[in-house]
Structure 1
Amino acid sequence: MTASWSPEDLRRLDSVGELEIAVERSDGSLRGWVPIWVVCTGGQAYVRTWYRRDTGWFGHALRSRRARIRVPRLEADVAIDDIGDGSPQVTADVDAAYRAKYGRAGAGSMVTPTAAAATLRLDRR
Protein backbone atom coordinates (compact mmCIF):
# COMPACT_ATOMS: atom_id res chain seq x y z
CA MET A 1 0.00 0.00 0.00
CA THR A 2 1.34 3.42 -0.91
CA ALA A 3 0.81 6.74 0.82
CA SER A 4 1.16 10.26 -0.47
CA TRP A 5 4.24 12.33 0.19
CA SER A 6 3.53 15.22 2.52
CA PRO A 7 4.43 18.72 1.29
CA GLU A 8 7.21 18.77 3.92
CA ASP A 9 8.60 15.42 2.68
CA LEU A 10 8.65 16.75 -0.88
CA ARG A 11 10.44 19.92 0.24
CA ARG A 12 13.05 17.82 2.02
CA LEU A 13 13.58 15.59 -1.00
CA ASP A 14 13.74 18.53 -3.38
CA SER A 15 16.16 20.51 -1.20
CA VAL A 16 18.96 17.93 -1.29
CA GLY A 17 21.41 17.27 -4.09
CA GLU A 18 21.16 13.52 -3.61
CA LEU A 19 19.15 11.03 -1.65
CA GLU A 20 20.50 7.68 -0.59
CA ILE A 21 18.62 4.57 -1.70
CA ALA A 22 18.98 1.03 -0.36
CA VAL A 23 17.07 -1.52 -2.42
CA GLU A 24 15.29 -4.27 -0.51
CA ARG A 25 16.38 -7.87 -1.02
CA SER A 26 13.84 -10.70 -1.29
CA ASP A 27 14.37 -11.54 2.40
CA GLY A 28 13.54 -7.95 3.41
CA SER A 29 17.09 -6.91 4.26
CA LEU A 30 18.58 -3.85 2.57
CA ARG A 31 21.42 -3.66 0.09
CA GLY A 32 24.03 -0.93 0.60
CA TRP A 33 23.14 2.75 0.39
CA VAL A 34 23.72 4.40 -3.01
CA PRO A 35 23.57 8.17 -3.62
CA ILE A 36 21.30 9.22 -6.50
CA TRP A 37 19.85 12.50 -7.78
CA VAL A 38 16.17 13.03 -7.00
CA VAL A 39 13.57 15.46 -8.32
CA CYS A 40 10.00 16.20 -7.32
CA THR A 41 7.20 17.30 -9.61
CA GLY A 42 3.44 16.97 -9.51
CA GLY A 43 3.51 15.80 -5.89
CA GLN A 44 5.74 12.82 -6.75
CA ALA A 45 9.42 11.92 -6.29
CA TYR A 46 11.47 10.57 -9.20
CA VAL A 47 14.94 9.15 -9.75
CA ARG A 48 16.74 8.16 -12.94
CA THR A 49 19.89 6.50 -14.05
CA TRP A 50 21.80 7.50 -17.18
CA TYR A 51 20.78 4.33 -18.97
CA ARG A 52 18.52 1.39 -18.33
CA ARG A 53 20.39 -1.69 -17.12
CA ASP A 54 19.85 -4.93 -15.27
CA THR A 55 22.80 -4.43 -12.91
CA GLY A 56 23.67 -2.20 -9.97
CA TRP A 57 21.11 -0.38 -7.85
CA PHE A 58 18.82 0.18 -10.85
CA GLY A 59 18.62 -3.49 -11.83
CA HIS A 60 18.01 -4.48 -8.22
CA ALA A 61 15.29 -1.79 -7.95
CA LEU A 62 13.53 -3.12 -11.06
CA ARG A 63 13.43 -6.62 -9.61
CA SER A 64 12.58 -5.74 -6.01
CA ARG A 65 10.26 -2.76 -6.51
CA ARG A 66 10.93 -1.89 -2.85
CA ALA A 67 13.57 0.24 -1.17
CA ARG A 68 14.36 2.60 1.66
CA ILE A 69 15.45 6.17 1.03
CA ARG A 70 17.03 8.75 3.29
CA VAL A 71 17.87 12.41 3.31
CA PRO A 72 18.46 14.62 6.35
CA ARG A 73 15.41 14.46 8.64
CA LEU A 74 13.58 11.92 6.45
CA GLU A 75 13.93 8.15 6.07
CA ALA A 76 11.12 6.25 4.36
CA ASP A 77 10.22 2.92 2.81
CA VAL A 78 9.20 3.28 -0.82
CA ALA A 79 7.55 1.28 -3.57
CA ILE A 80 9.27 1.68 -6.93
CA ASP A 81 7.22 2.19 -10.06
CA ASP A 82 8.99 1.93 -13.44
CA ILE A 83 7.48 4.73 -15.52
CA GLY A 84 10.20 4.95 -18.17
CA ASP A 85 7.84 4.42 -21.10
CA GLY A 86 5.01 6.35 -19.51
CA SER A 87 3.31 9.61 -20.28
CA PRO A 88 5.16 12.12 -22.48
CA GLN A 89 3.88 14.86 -20.15
CA VAL A 90 5.39 13.20 -17.06
CA THR A 91 8.67 12.74 -18.96
CA ALA A 92 8.67 16.44 -19.91
CA ASP A 93 7.86 17.45 -16.32
CA VAL A 94 10.64 15.27 -14.89
CA ASP A 95 13.11 16.57 -17.52
CA ALA A 96 12.18 20.15 -16.55
CA ALA A 97 12.62 19.34 -12.85
CA TYR A 98 16.12 17.92 -13.51
CA ARG A 99 17.09 21.04 -15.49
CA ALA A 100 15.69 23.39 -12.84
CA LYS A 101 17.37 21.60 -9.94
CA TYR A 102 20.72 20.60 -11.43
CA GLY A 103 21.18 23.18 -14.20
CA ARG A 104 21.27 22.57 -17.91
CA ALA A 105 24.89 21.40 -17.91
CA GLY A 106 24.60 19.26 -14.77
CA ALA A 107 21.38 17.60 -15.85
CA GLY A 108 22.46 17.05 -19.47
CA SER A 109 22.93 13.29 -19.28
CA MET A 110 19.77 12.93 -17.16
CA VAL A 111 17.39 14.45 -19.72
CA THR A 112 18.19 12.29 -22.73
CA PRO A 113 15.68 9.80 -24.15
CA THR A 114 17.87 7.00 -22.74
CA ALA A 115 17.74 8.45 -19.23
CA ALA A 116 14.00 9.21 -19.53
CA ALA A 117 13.43 5.51 -20.29
CA ALA A 118 15.09 4.77 -16.93
CA THR A 119 12.74 6.86 -14.77
CA LEU A 120 11.45 5.44 -11.52
CA ARG A 121 8.72 6.98 -9.35
CA LEU A 122 9.20 6.53 -5.61
CA ASP A 123 5.89 6.07 -3.78
CA ARG A 124 5.91 6.26 0.00
CA ARG A 125 4.84 2.98 1.67
Structure 2
Amino acid sequence: MTQWNETELDGIGTAEELDLASERADGSLREPVTMWVVRAGDHLYVRSVKGTEGPWYRGTRSRQQGRVEAGGVRKDVTFHEAVPGEYADVDAAYRAKYGHYTSIVEHVLTERARAATLRLEPR
Protein backbone atom coordinates (compact mmCIF):
# COMPACT_ATOMS: atom_id res chain seq x y z
CA MET A 1 0.00 0.00 0.00
CA THR A 2 1.30 3.45 -0.93
CA GLN A 3 1.41 6.03 1.84
CA TRP A 4 1.19 9.80 1.84
CA ASN A 5 4.45 11.67 2.25
CA GLU A 6 4.65 14.53 4.76
CA THR A 7 4.47 17.23 2.06
CA GLU A 8 1.24 15.73 0.70
CA LEU A 9 -0.26 15.27 4.17
CA ASP A 10 0.57 18.86 5.10
CA GLY A 11 -0.63 20.31 1.79
CA ILE A 12 -3.95 18.51 1.73
CA GLY A 13 -4.45 18.43 5.50
CA THR A 14 -4.10 22.19 5.91
CA ALA A 15 -6.07 23.15 2.79
CA GLU A 16 -9.44 24.69 3.57
CA GLU A 17 -11.14 22.60 0.89
CA LEU A 18 -10.46 19.63 -1.35
CA ASP A 19 -11.71 18.88 -4.86
CA LEU A 20 -12.70 15.23 -5.25
CA ALA A 21 -13.45 13.57 -8.59
CA SER A 22 -14.54 9.94 -8.43
CA GLU A 23 -14.16 7.51 -11.32
CA ARG A 24 -17.15 6.26 -13.24
CA ALA A 25 -17.52 2.59 -14.10
CA ASP A 26 -15.83 3.30 -17.47
CA GLY A 27 -12.79 4.86 -15.75
CA SER A 28 -13.54 8.48 -16.68
CA LEU A 29 -13.61 11.08 -13.92
CA ARG A 30 -16.78 12.77 -12.73
CA GLU A 31 -16.82 16.54 -12.27
CA PRO A 32 -14.98 17.40 -9.05
CA VAL A 33 -16.93 18.22 -5.90
CA THR A 34 -15.50 20.70 -3.39
CA MET A 35 -15.60 19.60 0.25
CA TRP A 36 -13.88 19.78 3.60
CA VAL A 37 -10.95 17.46 4.30
CA VAL A 38 -9.21 16.62 7.56
CA ARG A 39 -6.03 14.95 8.63
CA ALA A 40 -6.02 12.56 11.59
CA GLY A 41 -2.56 11.13 12.21
CA ASP A 42 -1.11 10.04 8.88
CA HIS A 43 -4.51 9.69 7.21
CA LEU A 44 -6.80 12.02 5.28
CA TYR A 45 -10.59 11.86 5.50
CA VAL A 46 -13.71 13.28 3.89
CA ARG A 47 -17.37 12.91 4.92
CA SER A 48 -20.69 13.24 3.20
CA VAL A 49 -23.07 15.48 5.15
CA LYS A 50 -25.92 13.65 3.38
CA GLY A 51 -24.55 10.30 4.49
CA THR A 52 -24.34 7.29 2.22
CA GLU A 53 -27.19 8.69 0.10
CA GLY A 54 -25.17 11.77 -0.86
CA PRO A 55 -24.60 11.91 -4.64
CA TRP A 56 -20.82 12.36 -4.54
CA TYR A 57 -20.48 9.57 -1.95
CA ARG A 58 -22.51 7.18 -4.11
CA GLY A 59 -20.22 8.09 -7.00
CA THR A 60 -17.19 6.87 -5.04
CA ARG A 61 -18.72 3.41 -4.72
CA SER A 62 -18.60 2.39 -8.41
CA ARG A 63 -14.82 1.98 -8.67
CA GLN A 64 -13.72 3.19 -5.23
CA GLN A 65 -11.07 5.38 -6.76
CA GLY A 66 -10.62 8.83 -8.19
CA ARG A 67 -8.51 11.98 -7.91
CA VAL A 68 -8.18 14.66 -5.26
CA GLU A 69 -6.64 18.09 -5.42
CA ALA A 70 -5.90 20.47 -2.55
CA GLY A 71 -3.07 22.51 -1.11
CA GLY A 72 -1.00 22.26 -4.29
CA VAL A 73 -1.26 18.45 -4.32
CA ARG A 74 -3.02 16.46 -7.04
CA LYS A 75 -3.19 12.72 -6.43
CA ASP A 76 -4.98 9.62 -7.66
CA VAL A 77 -6.56 7.88 -4.68
CA THR A 78 -8.61 4.95 -3.53
CA PHE A 79 -11.59 5.50 -1.25
CA HIS A 80 -11.74 3.27 1.83
CA GLU A 81 -14.68 3.23 4.19
CA ALA A 82 -13.48 4.28 7.62
CA VAL A 83 -14.34 2.01 10.52
CA PRO A 84 -16.14 3.23 13.66
CA GLY A 85 -12.86 3.12 15.61
CA GLU A 86 -11.59 5.97 13.42
CA TYR A 87 -14.61 8.24 13.93
CA ALA A 88 -13.53 9.90 17.20
CA ASP A 89 -10.21 11.07 15.75
CA VAL A 90 -11.95 12.29 12.59
CA ASP A 91 -14.58 14.11 14.66
CA ALA A 92 -11.82 15.80 16.67
CA ALA A 93 -10.01 16.80 13.47
CA TYR A 94 -13.19 18.37 12.06
CA ARG A 95 -13.82 20.27 15.30
CA ALA A 96 -10.23 21.53 15.45
CA LYS A 97 -10.03 22.59 11.81
CA TYR A 98 -13.56 23.83 11.13
CA GLY A 99 -14.92 24.58 14.61
CA HIS A 100 -15.01 28.31 13.84
CA TYR A 101 -17.90 27.48 11.46
CA THR A 102 -20.07 26.76 14.49
CA SER A 103 -23.39 26.49 12.67
CA ILE A 104 -21.97 24.25 9.93
CA VAL A 105 -19.40 21.93 11.51
CA GLU A 106 -22.05 20.02 13.48
CA HIS A 107 -23.41 18.68 10.17
CA VAL A 108 -20.27 16.58 9.64
CA LEU A 109 -20.47 15.22 13.20
CA THR A 110 -23.81 13.41 12.88
CA GLU A 111 -24.22 9.63 12.80
CA ARG A 112 -25.38 9.93 9.18
CA ALA A 113 -22.17 11.75 8.17
CA ARG A 114 -19.97 9.41 10.23
CA ALA A 115 -21.39 6.44 8.30
CA ALA A 116 -20.10 8.10 5.12
CA THR A 117 -16.52 8.71 6.28
CA LEU A 118 -13.94 7.86 3.64
CA ARG A 119 -10.21 7.49 4.19
CA LEU A 120 -8.22 8.68 1.17
CA GLU A 121 -5.26 6.47 0.24
CA PRO A 122 -2.81 7.41 -2.51
CA ARG A 123 -2.46 5.12 -5.54
TM-score higher than 0.5? yes
- Distance change in 2, residues 1:22/1:35 (3 Å): same
Question: 1:78 Cα shift?
Answer: 0.3
Task: Name the structure 2 match of 1:94.
Answer: 90
Question: 1:29 Cα shift?
Answer: 1.1
Q: Which runs of 5+ in 2 are unaligned?
A: none
Task: Name the structure 2 match of 1:12.
Answer: 11
Tell me the number of residue pairs that the alignment of Structure 1 and Structure 2 aligns: 121
Tell me, yes or no, if the aligned pair for 2:51 and 2:114 is still in contact at 8 Å: no
**Under a length normalisation based on structure 1, what TM-score does the superposition of the two structures give?**
0.89
State the identity %.
37
Structure 1 moving runs of 4+ over 6 Å? none
Q: Which of 99, 120, 123 lines up with 1:122 in the alignment?
A: 120
SS at 1:3 equivalent: coil
Question: 1:48 Cα shift?
Answer: 0.1
SS at 1:63 equivalent: coil
Question: 1:64 Cα shift?
Answer: 2.0
Task: Name the structure 2 match of 1:74.
Answer: 73
**Under a length normalisation based on structure 2, what TM-score does the superposition of the two structures give?**
0.91
After superposition, the CA RMSD in angstroms is 1.4
SS at 1:81 equivalent: strand
